[in-house]
Chain A
Amino acid sequence: MSWIKGILFGVVGYLAGYWLSISLGVERGTEAPFAIGYVFFFAGWLLGAGVWDHWARSWFGLENKTPPTKESHGWKRYFMFSTDHKVIGVQYLVTFALIFFLAGAFAMAFRYELMRPGRDWLSPKEFNTVMSTHGILMIAVAVSAIIGAFGNFVMPIQIGAEDMAFPRINALSYWTTPPVVFLILGANLLQGADYGFDFGWTAYPPLSTVAGLGKLFFLLAFMTLGLSSILGALNILITVIRLRAPGMTWGRLPIFTWGVFTTSFLSLIFTQFVFTGLFMVVLDRVAGTAFFAPDQGGGALLYENIFWIYSHPAVYVMIIPGFAIMLEILPTFARKPLYGYKWAIGGFFGIVAMSATVWAHHMFTSGMPDWMTVPFMAATEFISIPTGIIFLSALGTIWMGKLRLKTPMLFALAVVFNFLIGGLTGIFNADVATDLQLHDTYWVVGHFHYTIVGGEIFALFAGIYYWFPKITGRMFNEKLGKLHFWWMFLGFQAVFLPMFWLGYNGMNRRIADYIPELAGTNMWVSASAFLLGASFLVFIYNVVNSWVRGPQAANNPWGARTLEWQIESPPIEHNFHQIPTVTGHPYDYGVEGSVHAVLAPQAEAAD
């Protein structure tokens, strides 16, 4: 088992790294041996998990092992090192679903604290750590879940490829993610002064340079997550550029593939900035540098700039794949061609191009020169133009369509609804005058939950329901799916809509207490949060039950046209019996005589 061997090798690596740094004269009791130990843990973990096997064995002239296949290992292959893009996709999906529920549980914990004003059961530092843990784990889910799961499982099939361009780097980027969770949970388990990290997911200095091992764990975890994101993006870009089937021109590329493709530009280029920013904090902590000492020319603003140069594009890394799933699902269930296909792609590229010009709108209250605020405000508001084009494409597709309201479609429609609220409330944050009032309040919390949860996470669930029959070969229970949708949708509105009101009335985010006048609304929000949390029990029951003993799914239950629906459910190894030839547009629903792709007849080719 890759997991057990990975942890074992990781621990050995950690001890070796710790010992090495001590014997090289690094002072015991400082954080440096831990940081160096972690680097060795990370290398050991990857070695144990089997990531280096292929490369390292060839360096030493050894034979390579045969990879685990469906025939040889059955379901156990999901727990092993595999280079099959479908296995990696499922590994990503299940891992990040678990992280999502874990992070949700942390939210339940601090919503219990916020139920009443005053202190209930968490100390301020515990509250901040629990809140920050929820934050960073959810950021990990938002950045990686859709791209990792469906970008891996669905995208190569959609373009008619057998696998990703670099299958081993693909596996590497998956096996990089578990240490992130180990570190974040480890920071929560530390005792005393080392416990936790209380700076949100942003880790602004000087708070993040204060002593405490938990903080170091957080920084290392975030850097590791960045590495995974970069490698995944590189793989997706090359796969789409190089491995499209004959006839799969850029103008015939399915919109979901376009979404992960454009997103990958952002991950590839900007993730290095947050990596560098966090690295500077680590250096200040362990190597005694002075990046964030104000008297040496640096300071907190330097970090904020570097951090948001990545972290604002990162929100587009989260939402563009969400939009892409929405646009993938809407035409299938509206039985209409995707409205403004080329404009929607233009919208993606527009967002990518503008994403790096808006970062300082996170810093209006941080102390920037007045003349800088208006350009950043204007740029931020301009970015709603490409976003609006994507919206127009969604609405045009729904317009006069004959909608089939199956579970995936309901989730896709909810994305349109939620993101509208998220987008409109964002204008007040982009506007300097109103942002000075709303900054760091629950208004902002409501805004980004409506965009990222209401937009991306709803799209993630839309994708899970949409591709579930393809991934598992079984059908989920439609009634339970709809129950989950309405429960989650209404619960979501009940939790996050009042937050705008709370923020407007001055409730600060990241603080364990609030003015007593807001007690009633907070009680409502907390109660609704528990209700929202409970909705996922329906989902878990439905998915687990259907995966084990659900009815056999048809190859194309939704009557969709893209390539992944033209092959078996679940797909065979390497997806196609013969590489298909693409002859037409993927979304020509109801267009006479249009054929998206020609596949070799399945039975004939199997002989």
Chain B
Amino acid sequence: MSTLAHDSKYQLVTRRLGLWLFILSESMIFIALLFTRFLMQGVYRPEELNQTLGLGITTILLISSFTANRAEVRIAQGDRTGFLRNLAITIILGLVFLVVVVAVEWPEALHFAPPSTGYGTLFFAITGMHAFHVLTGLIILIIIFFQGKRGQYSPEDHWGAESGVVYWHFVDVVWIFVYPILYLFGP
């Protein structure tokens, strides 16, 4: 039985809509956490925050979103090498972001804002929740990378790659809100 629901173009839009609703739902977690930041601490921000590092990782994540977009465009044009290359750069940039947050930023923050303080609680909970999303995004991108290497995805059918990239953009957009609210707000 062939129906509209089985038509691949129609199905693609259905899946896109599903992903967007998922992202809408997921954003609520961050909305709740970021509102909590203002409820608990107003716009207070410790002096010791490493601004250089904050700006650095933000730049890295923003660039990775750009390369992720390039990867999607390349596979849509049928350029598999360009797709894999851009995807690899995205994954490396994402890994750098994650490692810097967890291995450099967190140990530093432990000194001036331990989790037992109000700001420390927020800092670790929000960056931690974001880091978790970065991690899941990375796992998805790595799976896509290896599937792409095996010859999956074509200009006509690359929903898997597209969904991973859209999710990666979401992770990036979240950080665009997290960064100023944690690093820049306040006197």
Contact = CB atoms under 8 A, between A and B. Distances in A.
A289 B36 CA distance: 14
A270 interface: yes
Interface string A282-302: 010001111101001110001
A273 B27 CA distance: 10
B21 interface: yes
A297 B118 contact: yes
Interface in A256-285: 268-273, 275-277, 280, 283
A298 B115 CA distance: 13
B33 interface: yes
Nearest to B160: A58
B111 interface: no
Given A59-B147, A269-B24, A275-B29, A238 B5 contact: no
Contacts of B24: 268-269
Contacts of A275: 29
A277 B40 CA distance: 14
Interface string B110-148: 000001111011001100000000000000000100110
B33 A298 contact: no
Nearest to B18: A238
B176 interface: no
B103 interface: no
A230 B18 contact: no
A296 B36 contact: no
A291 B18 CA distance: 33
A298 B21 contact: no
A238 B21 contact: yes
B29 to A, nearest CB: 5
B118 A302 contact: no
Contacts of A289: 115-116, 120-121, 124-125
A291 B10 CA distance: 45
Contacts of A420: none
**Interface SS of B by simple majority:** helix
B25 A578 contact: no
A166 interface: yes
A242 B13 contact: yes
B26 interface: yes
B125 A280 contact: yes
**Interface SS of A by simple majority:** helix
Interface string B1-42: 101110000100110011001101110110011001001110
Contact of B32 (A276, A296, A579): A276
Contacts of A230: 25
A276 B25 CA distance: 12
Interface in A152-178: 161-162, 165-166, 169
B181 to A, nearest CB: 15
A413 to B, nearest CB: 36
A579 B29 contact: no
Contact of B41 (A169, A246, A297): A297
Given A275-B29, A276-B33, A579 B1 contact: yes
Interface in A378-411: none
A237 B14 CA distance: 11
B53 to A, nearest CB: 22
A290 B124 CA distance: 11
Contacts of A246: 4
A235 B15 CA distance: 10
Given A238-B17, A268-B25, A306-B36, A291 B121 contact: yes
A165 B3 CA distance: 13
Given A234-B25, A270-B28, A275-B29, A302 B36 contact: yes
Contacts of B146: 59
A276 B40 contact: no
B28 A297 contact: no
Given A277-B32, A290-B116, A238 B121 contact: no
Interface of A: 58-59, 61, 161-162, 165-166, 169, 230, 234-235, 237-238, 241-243, 246, 268-273, 275-277, 280, 283, 287-291, 293, 296-298, 302, 305-306, 309, 574, 578-579
Top 3 A-B pairs ranked by shortest CB distance?
A: A272-B28, A296-B118, A297-B40
Given A243-B5, A276-B32, 15 more contacts: A58-B147, A165-B18, A234-B25, A237-B21, A241-B17, A242-B13, A269-B24, A287-B124, A290-B115, A290-B117, A291-B40, A296-B116, A302-B39, A302-B40, A574-B1
